[in-house]
Amino acid sequence: MAGSAIEKRALVHILSGLVSLSHARFLSVTMILIWGCLVGATPAPAQDIDPDLRQAVVTATEEFVEERRKSDYIAAWNMLTPGNQDQVPFDRFVDLETAAKDRLGPIRLFQVLRVTDYPERSDVAVDFAATYGGGVGGFFECGYFVWRRTDAGFKLARIERGSLPVAALESSQARANLEALRCQVLPRSILPIE
């Protein structure tokens, strides 16, 4: 634990030194530093996941994120289960995605943190974290996708997302702010959280 506190203080020192950089450069470096710390996210519970299954859902997740990034909402909407398409018609899906993109800005980084198989429900959950370049200082997002096994391949059965400004991660309330997002996997250490 002492090493962890030292690492946290070093990160604060590094971030403090970056204040003299231009705002855009500071944002970029801050996002990179935050992202680097995400790699130490909470490991998945002990579970043997077939590597082919893991790769398939990670690929589906990355494709869905990419379709949304490109604003190819038809392709993204077609990845939803028929039940989700009934609940969220295409026009509403586009409105929701456009509003999220307008608020969060362009996606900068995306990473899968954990994959969990629920074979009894034919579901696979993919926990993720992402950063976006909108607003002053950008946004951090975490959440999960639930993919359902179907005859047509994996279809998106559920999306849970929560976001907050990166500045909220630079405060003494960083851990509380992350926990308020109710994400299933939190990065172990982003900024100094004692």
CATH code of the domain containing 76: 3.10.450.50
Give me the mean pLDDT over the 38-53 stretch.
59
Q: CA gyration radius for the chain?
A: 18
**Residue 185 domain flag:** no
- Is residue 186 situated within a structural domain? no
57 vs 52: CA distance, rounded Å: 9
Is 190 within a domain?
no
Q: Is residue 193 part of a domain?
A: no
Q: Is residue 187 part of a domain?
A: no
* Residue 191: inside a domain: no
Per the domain annotation, does 172 fall within a domain?
yes
Give yes or no for residue 141 having a pLDDT over 60.
yes
Domain that holds residue 106: 2-180
pLDDT at 6 over 60: no
Name the H helices within the chain. Answer: 2-17, 23-38, 51-69, 73-77, 82-87, 90-104, 174-180
Decide: 141 and 65 in contact? Cβ < 8 Å.
Answer: no
Average pLDDT value for residue range 129-154: 90
Question: How many domains does the chain fold into?
Answer: 1
- Dihedral sign for Cα atoms in the order 160, 128, 35, 72: negative
Residue 56 pLDDT exceeds 80 = yes
Q: What is the pLDDT of residues 20-39, one digit of tens each?
A: 333 333 333 333 333 333 33
In a domain, 192, yes or no: no
Res. 166 pLDDT band, cuts 50 70 90:
confident
pTM exceeds 0.75, yes or no: no
The pLDDT assigned to 184 comes to 65
Stronger pLDDT, 115 or 43, i.e. the higher one: 115
